A and B are shown apart, each in its own frame.
Chain A
Amino acid sequence: MINALLTYEFLQNAFLSGIIIGVIAPLLGLFIVVRRLALIADALSHVALAGIAGSLFLSQQFLFFSALNPVYLGIGSAVGGSLLIEKLRGMYKHYEELAIPVILSAGIGLGAIFISLSKGFGSDLIGYLFGSVSAVSRQDLIIVIIIAVIVIAYVRFLYKELFVLSFDSEYSKVSGINARFIQMFFMIITALVIGASMRIVGILLVSSLMTVPVAAAMQIAKSFKGAIIYSIIFGEIAVIIGLFSAFHLDIAPGGTIVVTSILLLLIVLAWKKIRGDRKTVKVGGSLYDD
């Protein structure tokens, strides 16, 4: 495997992209989870599906689109979808969550139309749906690096504001934080992370890499910084084990990455349960816990 990694450019692209998205997906995922917006990642990934399917369909019809990387249209549509969700949330003030299923349905609907209209891009599409080790090009890697720089800069420079907005949105308004500006950027950044991750994890499983490592981290972290660190560690372990096993078994990495992160979550839950039981025993088997 190590020899192959040193020899083949496509493997280097896949592993480097994987390591980068193993950082940025759980990093942004933590803010998504604590703000109870986990479904937004699902909605945007399905809008990205519409963009990818549209690009593949158009590439069969027009020469110009056959030279265009479908990832561009996928990212573009996810960003467009994120802005539409924000607009719809503003229009349904008392039912903001309605915006998510509306945009998710639109994404699936358009995706289904483009897939039905096209003739045979089965293997390409499977790669986009569940991820691929062999399909990551140098151009894809560059896109992932650019997006990672934007995401890390966003979190680094707006960390304080994102924390307040996530912890207590009422307080953020009172303290004069420009929540609308930060929220708008947050949606665009989420769309970019989905765009960056879909080549490796696949459109259908992107949201899992953004939420499952976070679910494990939240079981053990006491602080917000701790939750970020644990989320990234779990995300990286899942991506590395997932990519290695996908390469050896010659299957889609999306499945192996997500199943690994679910296993990590189960291990954390079991460890916490055992630890909790031991502590209960330590205080003399009484009902008290520390």
Chain B
Amino acid sequence: MKNTLIDLDDVYFSYEQTAVLENIDLTVKEGEFWALIGPNGSGKSTLINIILGLLKPDSGSVLLFGQDADHFQHRELIGYVSQKSNSFNSGFPATVLEVVRSGLTRKTGLFKSFSKKDDKKAIHALKVVGMEDYAKQNIGELSGGQQQRVFIARALVGDPKLLVMDEPTVGIDQQNVKSFYSMLNKLNREHRIAILLVTHEIDLVTDLATHVACLNRSIHFHGMQADFKKMEDEDISKWYGHPVRRVHQHIEETQS
């Protein structure tokens, strides 16, 4: 029996009396790879912020690893990767190793320093994303795709059970996007890390994800990837509010 990592039940949220999310039910279990898709302004980022504890819903319940989100203490179980552009100032004087190690801040505890063991963990996380050769390089000197791999390593260094990603491929060129997604595939299959990925790239992601949720204020589809593939483009267009045509793009599993 798989453990439930995220359990949203009848969640409502509004900004200044404008409904953003209505009647949201979503369950993410161990080892699943969820693609959360939907048009611009559909509430995807708001939903992610609620899951991460940055926003409180108006009503409904949010359980993380079986605990109420308000009282959830084990934040290190959730790794988070945001859009590259929101994330940091590229002139910041920090090495890749320093950035990845900072993912252990909460786990190490207040008033304590990082140890050699923490450095080893950071190097291991960099190996997982294929970036161990860049450990001593300044983070600002890397390409957008490489920086996102470093941020995945920062999210992985604390051994999370769940990775939450909000459009992590924004600003990355198409070739790097494909290798980035194949790396996520590997993390999900080989390391059994559950993934909740917010994206616009329906075609690329539905090939990888085990499950798909289609959001536009409320959830219009919520189920297995195979069932989503059987859906007609017309139905998806109706949920999106504009025409959508899916083009199958196979992502090969490449060595990351």
Q: Which residues of A does B touch, CB under 8 Å?
A: 34, 36, 157-161, 163-164, 166-168, 170-171, 173-177, 217-218, 221-227
Contacts and interface: CB of A to CB of B under 8 A. Distances in A.
Nearest to B154: A171
A222 B136 contact: yes
B87 interface: yes
Contacts of B189: none
B25 to A, nearest CB: 23
A167 B82 contact: no
24 contacts: A34-B89, A34-B93, A157-B110, A157-B111, A158-B110, A159-B113, A163-B105, A164-B102, A166-B92, A167-B88, A167-B94, A168-B88, A171-B82, A174-B54, A174-B80, A175-B106, A176-B75, A177-B105, A177-B106, A223-B93, A223-B95, A224-B93, A226-B93, A227-B93
Interface residues of B, number: 35
A168 B105 contact: no
A171 B99 CA distance: 11
A118 B106 CA distance: 52
A5 to B, nearest CB: 35
Nearest to B139: A167
Contacts of B76: 175
B111 A175 contact: no
A218 B93 contact: yes
Given A159-B113, A171-B80, A222 B93 contact: yes
A161 to B, nearest CB: 6
A141 to B, nearest CB: 29
Given A157-B111, A160-B113, A222-B137, A175 B75 contact: yes
Nearest to A166: B92
B86 A170 contact: yes
B113 A170 contact: no
Given A167-B92, A171-B80, A177-B105, A158 B111 contact: yes
Contacts of A163: 94, 98, 102, 105
A258 to B, nearest CB: 22
Interface of B: 52-54, 73, 75-76, 78, 80, 82, 86-89, 91-95, 98-99, 102-106, 108, 110-114, 136-138, 154
Residue from the set A36, A175, A218, A227 with the largest chain B CB neighbour count within 10 Å: A175
Contacts of A226: 93
Residue from the set B80, B89, B102 with the largest chain A CB neighbour count within 10 Å: B102
Contacts of A174: 52-54, 75, 78, 80
Contact of B102 (A167, A218, A221): A167
B244 to A, nearest CB: 30
Nearest to B101: A160
A223 B94 contact: yes
A161 B111 CA distance: 9
A227 B98 CA distance: 12
B54 A222 contact: no
A165 B52 CA distance: 17
B158 to A, nearest CB: 9
Residue from the set B93, B103, B104, B136 with the largest chain A CB neighbour count within 10 Å: B93
B137 to A, nearest CB: 7
Contacts of B78: 174
A34 B98 CA distance: 15
Contacts of B98: 163, 223-225
Residue from the set B89, B91, B136 with the largest chain A CB neighbour count within 10 Å: B89
Nearest to A182: B110
Nearest to B76: A175
Contact of A34 (B92, B104, B112, B154): B92
Contacts of B114: 160
B69 to A, nearest CB: 12
Nearest to B108: A160
B79 to A, nearest CB: 9
Nearest to B114: A160
Nearest to A30: B93
Contacts of A217: 93
B96 to A, nearest CB: 10
A56 B136 CA distance: 52
A224 B88 CA distance: 14
Contacts of B75: 174-176
Contacts of B104: 160
